[in-house]
A and B are shown apart, each in its own frame.
Chain A
């Protein structure tokens, strides 16, 4: 279970408080969507949960299965099962995609007391998942995200998620920059990974993604707080009426 308790967060660089008391409980198997106007703190929330430097927690806690993760480094949080699919996956020239994914997988396995996979074992698992997600193996031989289209970058994020098998996945505006077909492809991957042991926090501006990845709960975030929670119908309401009536 993933729980955020009365979380208050400043961005250190600009000394500005962005998250003003968020409380959120996500049980295993649940899919929660967060929507909200620009500047509401959605991405700040996703970076804070994944442990990025520069996000200072003034108050509150973040717990995974009842244990605080505030003192955990980003790699430790990942190894414990937290995965962030980036809105803008970064390009890293010189780092091979294949080598990167294998290092990530084996690092997590090592952290959790499991044996590392040898290259043959890794390739077997990789091929299965890549085929399902329509990720070209040639793409995997290239440097990490370098020269990838927007859709390819997002599919690469989902492939990593499929291989690393996290327990809690944060999808930060996964649909941004995607055409309908690319979005369907990405959604197919996410839906494939849905299980009773895995939960999702989907951050999105638009309701259309939620046509393909049906949430259990929808939260509206504004000015660093969750101002309303509902079911999937809340997303339709926002699509139809915008955020203004909720902010008022």
Chain B
């Protein structure tokens, strides 16, 4: 364990368990089903820190959060000033840093901590989430109380080239409506686990933006347990040319849940890997899930999508949809896709599809026939390729920011 806390704490049992489980896994085993396309060693910090690209420090790359409620992590440690400000501004939200949990004997999170992760472990081994479990240095545990509506930005700023394990927990009580925007910048090698507990009728929009200036790998685990009528959306934007893996595991444990997992990636170099491994488990009736993945690739970049929809025998009237699209802009790229449906109910609608191709020549010609130069026409079509993902974003300023990032990336 990282912390030198000599007193026994309820987290200790979990961290021991995580460590034991991690040590029992052979990371070199190439037969692991969900690590076939990219080895866990790419994200594991036992290796020397590998800087994949130089950081391009630019204000234009950063989203201005000063007008909003925000929390900041510097090299993996929560900034105390931002925490204090957040506590003062938000009386109906309970928040505690992961470090401070160890100072509290009783905390509401003891009833929830690692429950979502342990459930997710049943679907397949997640060695790097286990590693996070006994190496996390900090994080935030936030309880959004009944009926609360809140937008929150979390900035992860990595000035130094460090391994950064962060552990978060988001507890949404009934009828709360929350939007969380996570922004990643800088030199850290990130390993993050966020657990979500969504109570009846709660809503979460979760956006994760891996900025262009990230110079190291990022692995983000998002484990969610969703109760009745909850509406959960998690959208990922990957602009860095480093390995990024999103592991998303959602259990739909109440009826009428509605979940969307969307991701867009733009890989421009051989060092770029955009890996989305998504597992959605329908446990109750009448739930709906959507997975939409879009990746544009050039110059040897690689994208991976492993998406599974599991439907329990109780989960009648399930509506599950999965679509992945690859826009291949040069011959040396790879878009590796493994869709899965495992269905045990008999009254369901589930579909999956995958399409890869280049920019449509007829579309390009139509735009150019109106005087739009080739580069501008290509930009428009690439923007159009991502429009289905951008349609998921409910905040105009974020849409505008993402569109600018895409525009800048196309010209690089």
Contact = CB atoms under 8 A, between A and B. Distances in A.
Interface string A48-72: 0011110000000000000000000
A74 B363 contact: no
A92 B371 contact: no
A105 B383 CA distance: 19
A92 B363 contact: yes
Contact of A103 (B362, B365, B374, B380): B380
A113 interface: no
Contacts of A75: 368-374, 377
A100 B367 contact: yes
A147 to B, nearest CB: 15
B388 A50 contact: no
B340 to A, nearest CB: 27
B384 interface: yes
Instruction: Say whether chain B's binding surface is mostly helix, strand, loop, or mixed.
Output: helix
A74 B369 contact: yes
B377 to A, nearest CB: 8
Interface stretch (A78-86, A123-131, A174-182, A184-192): A78-86
Nearest to A84: B369
Nearest to B380: A95
Contacts of A86: 366
Contact of A160 (B365, B370, B380): B370
B366 A53 contact: no
Contacts of A53: 361, 365
Interface in A98-114: 99-101, 103-105, 107-108, 111
Contacts of B371: 75, 78-79, 104-105, 107-108, 111, 164
B323 to A, nearest CB: 13
B95 interface: no
A51 B368 CA distance: 10
A103 B376 CA distance: 9
B365 A100 contact: no
Nearest to A163: B370
A120 interface: no
Contacts of A119: none
A136 interface: no
B385 interface: yes
A75 B373 CA distance: 6
B368 A78 contact: yes
24 contacts: A53-B361, A53-B365, A74-B365, A74-B369, A75-B370, A75-B371, A79-B371, A83-B370, A90-B363, A90-B366, A92-B367, A92-B384, A93-B387, A94-B381, A94-B386, A95-B383, A100-B372, A104-B372, A107-B370, A108-B370, A143-B387, A160-B370, A164-B370, A164-B371
Given A51-B368, A73-B368, 12 more contacts: A50-B369, A74-B365, A78-B370, A78-B371, A83-B369, A92-B363, A92-B366, A95-B363, A95-B381, A103-B372, A103-B376, A160-B370
Interface of B: 361-363, 365-374, 376-377, 380-381, 383-388
